[in-house]
Chains A and B, each alone.
Chain A
Amino acid sequence: MSHDNQQAEVTFLWNGAPIRARQGDCVAAALWRAGITTLARSRKIHRPLGYSGSYPTGVLARVNGRPNVRLDQVSVQDGLVVEMQNTWPSPRFDLLKLAQFLPPKLVYGGFEHGAWMPKTGPAYRFAERAMANLAGVARPADVTIQPSPIPGERVAVDCLVVGGGPAGISEANRRARLGETVALVTRGDRLARFATAAGAAVEPLSPQVRLFAGMELFGVYRDGALMVGAPHDNRRGAVAFDPRGTVLATGRRSIPPLVRGNQLPGVFDAHSALQLAAVHRVMPGRRVSVVGTGAETELADRLVSLGVDVVHRGPVEELVEITGRSRVTAIRAGAEIRCDAVVHAGPWRIDPSLGFQASGEGMFQMLARPLPDTMSVVGAAALDNERVHARKHLHPGTLICPCMDVTAGELYCHIDEGETDPEVLKRLTSCGMGTCQGFPCWEHMLALLAARIGVEPEAIARPTHRPPRRSITVAQAAGLAALVEPDR
């Protein structure tokens, strides 16, 4: 894959082997450049997972003795020790990946309570221990890693803008011109990453706006009067905001196609494919298929201008299957098209977590309601959700939740017996209880359910979206101790 010799090089270790990388790359991009596509394996069936932009679980690895570090958020450094997790006895000689050849039904319902588990006695205790080792995926942190609380900060502002894209920047600037104190939180390490990668011109952020970059704003508390975010860099402290008003400029994300093979390394969302090509100068693949809900043509043109060989562009509805063993080798969309990467630009959907937290009410079940008056939405996040195309009969091996290894077949087992309540399906299968905490996998679960029972997907109540979905470490949270008093 493409290589730029002008840049300074560093060397880090992947499973003990030295990998040369460009200074400034994230580890995930550096590994992709080096042709290493499988970065993680799903917890039960040990399917290969990689950098996708959609599923954080595909980029979790052990870095310098710390488990579950996101490789798309860590920059390469000389001597960094990166190891694959969920392997045994070692990443280089991994017997667990033989689990790929198990019949999938064996692990329906979570492998810790499959029908074959012994029920009581020493046999159960032994099985439980073995299962805990398998399910835990990652070894605990090295004993030498014992951090202190990372002191946090409390910030009162007139207006908190969440999202550092063009819409967020423009709204933050407008508020600042009105004389409001404004803070802007963006998960990007810099502003407008995706708009810039797509080739758009972006207005600069006013110096009056206090910028919190590389930070995930994850929690809405006290009806929006208290909001909490934490930097991806776990050496920096979390921030508790007291905003008088909040503007959600969180945009929309492309949801992976709901077809078999959608988790294979080589499937990227539009954002991460553009990041790879425009920023890291590494091609998402040698032969790339682009699918979408209308934006695929523009995206494909942009990728071509960045040097990507696009072999197919077409509507996502026509995509039937993505094939490959350990990475994408072809797609079926009418005809079979040989390609080694699939980039999806739609269906575009809003990450519902913050809105749900801000508005959810209920004594027996939390249900989303209209946003409180102190909150508004701008930019793409104010647009409609696009529909996830789902067939009534998906291949049972279609993966819905890569974190917990939940397939369409497992959900069908319950749905076809009459269990159609998403909260119950979640508890029966653990779908959406892993790293992503329900986005994007509940978009798939709800679309699958709606298609199976023949109702409108938007008519089904979503399961509860819960903070902080791994956006804050224990030490970062502990650093807020003196800053947030109980609500008396």
Chain B
Amino acid sequence: MNKPLPKRAAVVIIGGGVQGLSVAFNLIEQGQRDILVLDAGYWQGGASGRNGTLIRPGFASVAWTELFVLTVNEWRSWSKRLGENVMFTQRGYSVVSEVEKSEAMLLEGLKVQKSLGVNSWMLSRREIDDLLPAINKSRVRAVQHQPEGGVAPHHAVMKGLLAFCQRNGVDVRYRTAISGVERTGPRVSAVLVGDHRIEADCVVACAGPNNPDIAAMAAVPLNGFGMRIEAMALEPTRPLIKPAIALIDSLAYFHQTSRGEVVGGTEVPETPRMSLKVDVPVMVQMAKVYLEMFPQLGEVRILRHWAGQFHASSDYAPLLGEHPDLKDLWFSAGWSYGFAGAPAAGKLLAEAIARGRIDHRMKPFALDRFEKTGPIAEGGIVLA
């Protein structure tokens, strides 16, 4: 635990959350050794330990759906490859529309999903009764169901990733904040931890809401900013809600965990800010949504409410790849669906770093897309 930091590492990963550890895990599988992971906080202290843990393959755009089809395939094999149970469970994912406009968007998305081989369909009234018996059907206009979607509890996922990395010689350091990124000519050459310099062939920033700070240290531009988002857990009961659920109009998402708590989050129109503190409006809005959609939750008590922080890019899509202005500095940034997307991001980045192969599924998410091809239009995400 307390051995001194190395003076050199082949790959330095900044951020020991699900993104950073997924990159490390995939690099190990690609044969890469000499990997150092640095994290300013504690294990699971960032968004990787605070998110809603929902996973689905299907969205409304080709770019998102291709990336998340890959991620679901990766999730399926993680327990086996890691040798640890990440508890990924394909209990299904239902995207609920409450108005005509979002129903049309879900129907459009269905076409995209079909063309990419995603198993999804609109539920009939009968199927809604079977799958979501507790839902308030008077509020439901349409439900797009993705049986291959599901959840993976973040504590199990992070435990599995960390155990694998440590077994395979990855040096993972928590509570170790970097203070600078050094560049030499056109490429990144080292990171600094206080006065200590760590030379690196390659640096991967997976720092969540702090990615803009890493970019600033390296003196390169990066789209987006860090902000808080809140979630809460209800007191546990035995199973009431089977699939994971996104309410596309109420901007809410939730599921019932395998230990019985209904965990979910929503958004309110507040001024974006970085903070781990919570405020009342999210709790109130989320409660309102539960009461309207699952009235049986009305007298359930709210157990805890917390905030997490993420890096919001201007189209809420990830920023994946090498920085166009600085060689050997890679980013897995801009994530709003980062927990779900981490297996795909880790795989694609590791292939790019270790083999120089840029997969076509990664290209749309390039860091300079805003100047070159424009933002990615995706109507199927629960964010506004």
* A interface residues, Cβ below 8 angstroms from B: 66-68, 110, 112-113, 117, 119-120, 124-125, 128-129, 131-133, 135-141, 143, 145-149, 219, 221-222, 226, 228, 234, 240, 360, 362-366, 418, 421, 423-424, 427-428, 433, 435, 437, 464, 466-478, 480-481, 484-488
Contact = CB atoms under 8 A, between A and B. Distances in A.
Interface in B278-327: 278-281, 283-288, 290-291, 295-306
Nearest to A142: B296
Contacts of A135: 236, 258-260
Interface string B218-249: 00000000000000001111111000000000
Contact of B235 (A139, A146, A470, A484): A470
Contact of A147 (B239, B258, B284, B298): B298
Given A135-B259, A484-B280, A478 B291 contact: yes
A149 B256 CA distance: 22
B296 A140 contact: yes
Contacts of A471: 301-302
A472 B301 contact: yes
Given A66-B299, A488-B269, A133 B304 contact: no
Contacts of A147: 291, 295, 298-299
Contacts of B384: none
Closest 3 CB pairs between A and B? A136-B260, A136-B238, A364-B41
A145 B89 contact: no
Given A474-B300, A475-B291, A140 B238 contact: yes
Contacts of A148: 291, 298
Chain A interface main SS type: loop
Given A468-B283, A478-B288, A146 B298 contact: yes
A484 B79 CA distance: 44
A421 B46 CA distance: 15
A132 B314 CA distance: 38
A484 B284 CA distance: 8
B275 to A, nearest CB: 9
B259 A136 contact: yes
B237 A365 contact: no
B234 A119 contact: no
A475 B238 contact: no
A335 to B, nearest CB: 42
B233 to A, nearest CB: 9
Given A147-B298, A472-B302, A226 B280 contact: yes
Interface in B253-285: 256, 258-260, 268-271, 274, 276-281, 283-285
B236 A113 contact: no
B270 A137 contact: no
A478 B234 CA distance: 14
B301 A68 contact: yes
Contact of A113 (B156, B174, B298, B299): B156
A219 B236 contact: no
A360 B276 CA distance: 9
Interface in B135-159: 153, 155-156, 158-159
B83 to A, nearest CB: 9
B291 A364 contact: no
A424 B174 CA distance: 11
Contact of A137 (B236, B278, B281, B303): B236
B296 A143 contact: yes
Given A68-B301, A145-B299, A132 B306 contact: no
B49 A481 contact: no
Given A365-B45, A424-B43, A484-B281, A469 B303 contact: yes
B284 A473 contact: no
B302 A117 contact: no
Contact of A146 (B269, B279, B296, B301): B296
A379 to B, nearest CB: 27
A122 to B, nearest CB: 11
B64 to A, nearest CB: 26
A488 B280 contact: no
Interface string B44-57: 11100100000000
Nearest to A423: B42
A133 B269 CA distance: 37
Contact of A487 (B238, B271, B290, B301): B271
Contacts of B235: 68, 435, 470
B122 interface: no
A418 B305 CA distance: 30
A418 B166 CA distance: 14
B131 interface: no
A484 B285 CA distance: 10
Contacts of B239: 129, 132-133, 136
A153 B355 CA distance: 62
B123 interface: no
B291 A427 contact: no
Contacts of B32: none
A66 B281 CA distance: 26
A128 B235 CA distance: 19
12 contacts: A113-B156, A140-B240, A146-B298, A221-B278, A234-B299, A363-B276, A365-B41, A423-B44, A424-B43, A470-B303, A474-B291, A488-B269
Contacts of B46: 364
Interface in B40-76: 40-46, 49, 76
Contact of A363 (B274, B280, B290): B274
Contacts of B41: 364-365
Given A473-B298, A484-B284, A487-B270, A132 B258 contact: yes
Given A228-B280, A435-B235, 14 more contacts: A67-B237, A68-B235, A120-B76, A137-B238, A141-B237, A226-B280, A364-B41, A424-B44, A466-B278, A467-B304, A481-B285, A484-B280, A486-B270, A487-B281
A474 B279 contact: no
Contacts of B158: 427
B287 A464 contact: no
Given A119-B79, A486-B281, A474 B303 contact: no
Contact of B271 (A149, A437, A488): A488
A65 to B, nearest CB: 10
Most buried by A among B76, B87, B259: B259
A476 B260 CA distance: 21
A468 B87 CA distance: 28
A139 B1 CA distance: 44
A486 B271 CA distance: 8
B155 A427 contact: yes
Instruction: Identify which of A110, A437, A475 gathers the most chain B CB atoms within 10 Å of its CB.
Output: A475
B101 interface: no
B264 to A, nearest CB: 11
Contact of A477 (B156, B240, B283): B283
Contact of B301 (A117, A145, A470): A470
B102 interface: no
Given A147-B298, A221-B280, A427-B44, A474 B258 contact: no
Nearest to A139: B238
B85 A119 contact: yes
